[in-house]
Amino acid sequence: MLKSVVVLTLALGISLQVFAKREELTRTIHKEYIVEPDAMLKVANKFGKVHITTDNSNAIVIDVEIKVEGRNADKAQQIMDRIHIDFNAGPKQVEASTQIGNSGSVTMKNTEDLEINYTITMPQRGSVDIENKFGDVFITEIDGTTNFQVSYGSLVAQKLNSERNTAVVKFGSADITEALYLDLTSKYSGTHVKKVKLLELDSQYGDSEIGAAGRINISSGYDDVEIGAVAELLGTVKFSDLNVKAITQKYDVKNSYGDVDIEFISKDFREVRVHSSFADVDIYFEQGSNFTLDATMKFGDINIPSGAEVRRDEGNTSESITGKLREGQTKSIVVIVGSYGDISLGIK
């Protein structure tokens, strides 16, 4: 009987601890700095959002909201006392950095509720260098250079007008509406870029979706890539499936252990170079296309449109095809080097 009472008492104690009301504290910080129109903003944060809105002013305004939650008022206050925001400001550059003292940040996050949110307005002509861990980053249109380092959170950017935009996103997502130039590294993250002139994309272990692009230099591994319309597509794709809706000028991609499907290539294209192994490739050219063809395949088949003006040499495990799609002069070329897979060229 005594044992049952002890067990019941312990259970009640645990229940009271679980359902006990936790104490929440909030602290706000407001800073405003007059700066030059092209000033640089640097922010290093963790455990919260960084939200940036641009305007035509000559000021950088920073509002920080810090929220902590502890088991009781004393515990919450102890956590709050450890959090400091360091500011360093001048007319050309403003810096804000979140500092959490006397504890490991991840351990602290696991044991207590903590949120540090930045809301910032700044000149559109300015530049940014933003690092955020365990939180999201949002920015509207900006003309200056940008650098984003985001982990365990999402990056959302509306319009990046500079020729120098760099982003590294890990264990999160990137959603870019429009960029002039973008160097994007994505690890274990989903990537969506609606419109970009020049994209350097390094994507690993995630899915990438690109709407319209001038040129894409891609390095992809262990993910799926969807591209809408692109003028030039270059790079390497491994253990990834690649689907492209339309190419207008150039394709030069090495792919392996992942299938490639190109739904449309303009009849005015310059060159197509396929380097494929352990994968199937399907490519469709616009009606009226003509090109010279130089293709070799080992341990696989090459299928081309009927009536092509080509020479085909076949061996036991290999074949080569040279010639043109049809009579007439053309500056367009198609070069294929394949192994252990099938490659099909079609017209539509």
Rounded to 5°, the CA angle 59-61-67 comes to 175
Is pLDDT of 278 > 60? yes
Domain regions of the chain by residue span = 20-144, 157-255, 266-348
* C-beta atoms surrounding 348 within 10 Å: 8
Torsion of CA 37, 196, 238, 271, to 10 degrees: -130
Report the amino acid identity of residue 123: P
pLDDT band with cut points at 50, 70 and 90 for residue 112: low
Tokens coding 177: 């509406």
Q: What is the pLDDT of residue 111?
A: 41
The residue ranges of DSSP E strands in 240-332, in sequence order, are: 241-256, 260-265, 271-277, 281-285, 292-298, 302-303, 309-314, 318-324
pLDDT of residue 101: 86
Per-residue pLDDT of 25-36, as tens digits, reads 999 999 999 999
* pLDDT band, very low/low/confident/very high, at 200 (cuts 50, 70, 90): very high
Residue 10 has pLDDT above 50, yes or no: no
- What SS3 class is residue 342? coil
* Span 212-261, pLDDT tens digits: 999 999 999 999 999 999 999 999 999 999 999 999 999 999 999 999 99
**Mean of the per-residue pLDDT values of the chain:** 92
- Residue 3: pLDDT over 90: no
pLDDT above 90 as % of the chain: 82
Read off the tokens for 28: 């706000």
Where is average pLDDT lowest: 67-71, 105-109, 192-196, 268-272? Answer: 105-109
Q: 230-236: long-range contacts (C-beta < 8 A, 24 or more apart)?
A: 235/201
Buried b (16+ CB within 10 A) or exposed e, 289-320: bbbbbebbbeebebebeeebebeeeeeeeebb
Q: Which pTM was predicted?
A: 0.89
Strands 318-324 and 260-265: what pairing?
unpaired
What pLDDT shows up at residue 277? 98
Tell me the β-bridge partners of 27.
66
